Amino acid sequence: MVPFPALEQPLNPFPRYEAMRDSEPVFQDQETGVWHAFRYDDVQRVLSEHATFSSRFGGDGPSGQLFAASLVNTDPPRHRQLRSLVSQAFTPRSVEALAPRISELTNELLDPVIAAGSTDLIDQLAYPLPVIVIAELMGIPAADRDRFKQWSDVIVSQTRPGADDSDHAAAHREMAEYFMAMIEQRRRQPGNDLISALLGAEIDGQKLSVMELLGFCSLLLVAGNETTTNLIGNAVLCFTEAPGTAERLVAEPDLLPHAIEEVLRYRSPVQSMYRISTVETTLRGRSLPAGSPIVAWIGSANRDGEQFPHPEVFDVERSPNRHLAFGQGIHFCLGAPLARLEAKIALQAVLSRLPGLAVEPGATLERMESTIVYGVKRLPVTWQAA
């Protein structure tokens, strides 16, 4: 048995996943009692069989309280009702309408650094872009984005060993107070934004509760930000690693959406998701009692050789590419069309405006402090400035 220290967060967790897929694909950590699934088929089952593997696990921790009432932590029938309220805002068609604004923001963020020939691409583009987009959708001041980053960094680092719980409690409290004030303001003065739309929405004649509204806002801010930031950052890592990739994507722009799907598979921004079993069940011959917490390792499923030939090769033309980076089933990522669009626009601009793009030689890349979200803290890059 290969022990799996669940709280470690190496930049290269993939050899360990491989060892687990081979030796103990469904594994119970004896210390914590938590189960872990590493193979594609099992991860797919855990994510999509919602009657057996429930998403209602989150009531205990501080993030649990905040997200408990949000759709990511509910099961049907409530899940379907909540999801139908917001899904209109995130259809590919409504999202496509945001394209001109996303391009404009991307160029505004890149303009000041173009002449410099080097920058931290996370700080300059990959972080601010998705935050500004979601803040504008929600109708909250994008100028507060430094505070959002502070809160969401603390929240996604929840599983960090030695994490300070008082930090988490404070971040959750501050974020809740912030959104309460925004919700109250929209109640008095509705606008053409998501918070106002949610305030007006009814399910079977009933308005959403304040906790549900708060859960939605927090979920959108946290789910929609670090993930898209990391998709953009991870794409730059992938594109600069294999010589010629960036040049090829400039020459063949139609390839970019495929390349982005391959980034989602190869360096999945969300590496793992939790569920809790509702009944006794069997997974790859192992018997899990009802009430077993289980981690579905998306990052490992996406490197499973039974599903993906030569999984360790980053192949911009991979087809089929049925990665699980956005989950599967009823909880399939609501923001997937938006994340794909933002990544496409941002990466197109980066590739065309920063010729000769490379990770700064000698830079030490450090993984963000989270076992769930995968990406680097800083991404120093260089290019040939005109």
Neighbouring C-alpha atoms within 13 Å toward the C-beta of 351: 26
Taking phi over 0 as left and psi of -120 to 50 as alpha, with beta for the rest, 329 belongs to left
Q: Which amino acid is at 370?
A: S
Does 208 interact with ligand HEM (rule: CB under 6 A)? no
* Residue 299 in contact with ligand HEM, rule: CB under 6 A: no
Closest distance between ligand HEM and the C-beta of residue 227, in Å? 3
Rounded to the nearest whole angstrom, what is the least distance from the CB of residue 135 to ligand HEM in the complex? Answer: 11
Cα–Cα dist 86/334, whole Å:
9
Structure tokens at 344: 């496409």
Q: Are 53 and 158 in contact (CB under 8 A)?
A: no
297 SS3 class? strand
- Please report how close the Cβ of residue 109 comes to ligand HEM at its closest, in angstroms: 17
Amino acid at the residue 206: Q
Segment near ligand HEM (CB under 6 A); pick from 58-66, 194-202, 299-307, 335-343 = 335-343
Residue type, 108: E
- Binding residues among 47-86 for ligand HEM as defined by CB under 6 A: 47, 55, 71-72, 83
Cβ 44 to ligand HEM shortest distance, Å: 11
Asked whether position 220 contacts ligand HEM by CB under 6 A, the answer is yes
* Residue 371 binds to ligand HEM (criterion: CB under 6 A): no
Q: Tell whether residue 256 is a contact of ligand HEM (CB under 6 A).
A: no
Place of tokens 């060993």: 161
Beta carbon nearer to ligand HEM, 203 or 363: 203
Please state the closest distance from residue 140 (CB atom) to ligand HEM, in A.
13
Question: Is residue 339 at the binding interface for ligand HEM, with CB under 6 A as the rule?
Answer: yes
Q: Which amino acid is at 19?
A: A
Q: In what order do the strands lie in the sheet with 380-382?
A: 118-120, 380-382, 358-359
| Residue 269 near ligand HEM by CB under 6 A | yes
Interface stretch with ligand HEM, choices 178-186, 301-309, 324-332, 353-361 (CB under 6 A):
324-332
Type of residue found at 28: Q
Beta strands, E only, the chain: 26-28, 35-37, 53-54, 118-120, 202-203, 206-207, 272-277, 281-283, 286-288, 293-297, 358-359, 380-382
Per CB under 6 A, does 219 bind ligand HEM?
yes
Nearer to ligand HEM, 266 or 383 (CB): 266
Q: Which is nearer to ligand HEM, 113 or 217 (CB)?
A: 217
Q: Is 46 in the site for ligand HEM (CB under 6 A)?
A: no
Residue-wise DSSP of 245-257: HHHHHHH-GGGHH
Q: Smallest distance from the beta carbon of 230 to ligand HEM, in angstroms?
A: 7
Amino acid (1-letter code) at residue 375 = G
Contact between 333 and ligand HEM per CB under 6 A? yes
* Nearer to ligand HEM among residue 156 and residue 223 (C-beta): 223
Among 138, 325, 345, 347, binds ligand HEM (CB under 6 A): 325
Provide the token pair at 39: 């193979």
| Choices 14-22, 120-128, 268-276, 364-372 (CB under 6 A): range interacting with ligand HEM | 268-276
Per CB under 6 A, does 327 bind ligand HEM? yes
Using CB under 6 A as the binding rule, the residues of this chain from 124 to 143 that contact ligand HEM are 134
Residue 297: C-alpha distances to residues 16, 26, 131, 234, 252 (Å) = 12, 10, 26, 18, 33
User: Distances in Å between the alpha carbon of 329 and those of 53, 212, 323, 333?
Assistant: 12, 22, 13, 9
Q: Which of 335, 370, 376, 381 binds ligand HEM (CB under 6 A)?
A: 335
Residue 332 beta carbon to ligand HEM: minimum distance, rounded to whole angstroms: 7
Cα 184 to Cα 52: distance, rounded to the nearest angstrom: 38
Binding site for ligand HEM (CB under 6 A): 47, 55, 71-72, 83, 134, 219-220, 223-224, 227-228, 231, 269-270, 273, 325-327, 331, 333-335, 338-339
